[in-house]
Structure formats: structure tokens, C-alpha cells
């Protein structure tokens, strides 16, 4: 079984509020008696994920990946993107400027005129996730569904990006998709702190689904 788990993802991997440090990776670690490195990062897309994983200098037996919530969000077609990680004194004010610009465009209803796009296109998303998977193979990689959102207009985009994960998982023997969307969409009022973030019951459900998959095989040698 795994001696150490690494997880990379967005706010729902990191844990929100008082659940930070008690998200699904930590719960799985406790059940398995494994060490845990949680590389979850607020507002992160798969773009940041590549850098977060690149900068991880420890060792681990397996990797959990959960990106898509910010990737699939729709924004102005001509809006620039400023990375949240790695961060620096230049990127922080730039993000503030970009946010103000987006708000102005929304208020002026310019999005419909200028067009919209996903923050990270499905094609780039697939490339980013594949690069992370390949980096840690042949150790097991678990691709965790992006969870449905309470803002229903976002969910068709989320489902599309989850389908990308399914496709990737079929291409690698040690890559496993964790299907959660349908489970969560049936209990939107049970598993969330707010419109976006998991509550205690939500993390228990994610941990249980991953543990069921882990139970199907033994861990290979640790990665570096």
C-alpha cells in the first residue's frame, strides 16, 4: 500500500476554510497510514498545476490530480491570463487590473459582443493533464472529477472537461478516473459549504471513492 500520497489541484483539493488540512488527500492518508503532500492551490488551473508538480521535490507513491473548475470557466475572448503560481510582485497587480477589466466588460455587457472562451481551452487542458500524468508514471495517477457547481450554467462545461479526464485515463494502464459528478449533482445541498467548495460530507464522499479504487491494486515502487 502507499507510504506517501501527493495531491495537486485547486481549492477543492486544498480545502476551504477550517477544512484546509483536512481535505480528501489528508483523509485518505489517515486511512492508509500514509504521509501526504497537498499541493492544492486556490484559483489554480492546470497551467499552475504543471509548475506546482514541477516544484515538488519530495517522493511519493501516487498522485491525485483535480483541475477543471477554473480551467473551464468562461471569460472574455480577449482577456489575458496571469498565473497564480508561481506568484510574484508583478503578477499580483496585473491580476487586479485584469479583474477590473473583466468586471467592466460584464457590466457593459460586452462579453456577448466580443465573444467568450474558456480560461484554459479543452485542448490545452488535456495537454496539461497528460504532461502531469506522464511525469509520474508508472506510479498510479488518480484523475478526480471536477464537481458540479451550484451555478447551473457552469455544469455543461464541467462535464466536458471531465470527459477529457475519462479519455486520458483510458490511455494509460496506471491512470484511473474517479467518477464523482453524478454522485454530487444528486446531493448539491448535502456536500457543499457554498456554491463551489466541499463540506465535511463532500470530502468523505471523495475519499471513499478514491479508497475504493486504491483497494483494487497494490502500490508499485515509489517515484522520485
CA-based nearest residue to 115, from 78, 163, 150? 78
pLDDT digits (tens, 9 = 90+) for 182-202: 999 999 999 999 999 999 999
> What pTM was estimated for this model as a whole?
0.93
pLDDT digits (tens, 9 = 90+) for 77-126: 888 899 999 999 999 999 999 988 877 777 777 666 778 899 999 999 99
Contact of 67 with 9, CB cutoff 8 Å: yes
Domains and CATH numbers, the chain: 4-73+119-214 (3.40.50.1110)
End-to-end CA distance of the chain: 17
Let me know the angle formed at the C-alpha of 221 by 216 and 222, rounded to the nearest 5 degrees: 105
Amino acid at each position: 500500500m502507499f507510504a506517501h500520497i501527493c495531491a495537486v489541484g485547486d481549492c477543492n483539493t486544498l480545502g476551504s476554510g477550517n477544512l484546509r488540512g483536512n481535505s480528501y488527500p489528508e483523509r485518505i492518508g489517515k486511512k492508509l497510514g500514509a504521509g501526504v503532500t497537498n499541493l492544492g492551490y486556490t484559483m489554480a488551473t492546470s497551467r499552475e498545476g504543471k509548475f506546482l508538480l514541477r516544484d515538488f521535490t519530495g517522493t511519493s507513491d501516487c498522485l491525485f490530480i483535480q483541475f477543471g473548475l477554473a480551467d473551464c470557466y468562461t471569460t472574455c475572448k480577449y482577456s489575458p491570463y496571469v498565473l497564480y503560481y508561481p506568484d510574484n510582485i508583478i503578477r499580483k497587480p496585473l491580476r487586479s487590473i485584469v479583474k477590473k477589466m473583466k468586471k467592466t466588460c460584464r457590466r457593459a455587457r460586452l462579453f456577448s459582443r466580443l465573444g467568450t472562451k474558456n480560461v484554459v481551452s479543452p485542448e490545452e487542458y488535456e495537454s496539461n493533464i497528460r504532461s502531469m500524468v506522464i511525469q509520474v508514471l508508472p506510479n498510479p495517477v488518480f484523475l478526480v472529477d471536477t464537481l458540479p457547481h451550484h451555478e447551473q450554467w457552469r455544469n455543461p462545461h464541467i462535464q466536458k472537461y471531465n470527459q477529457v479526464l475519462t479519455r486520458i485515463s483510458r490511455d494509460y494502464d496506471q491512470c484511473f478516473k474517479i467518477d464523482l459528478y453524478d454522485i454530487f449533482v444528486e446531493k448539491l445541498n448535502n456536500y457543499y459549504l457554498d456554491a463551489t467548495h466541499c463540506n465535511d460530507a463532500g470530502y468523505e464522499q471523495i475519499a471513499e471513492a478514491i479508497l475504493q479504487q486504491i483497494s483494487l491494486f497494490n502500490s508499485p515502487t515509489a517515484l522520485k
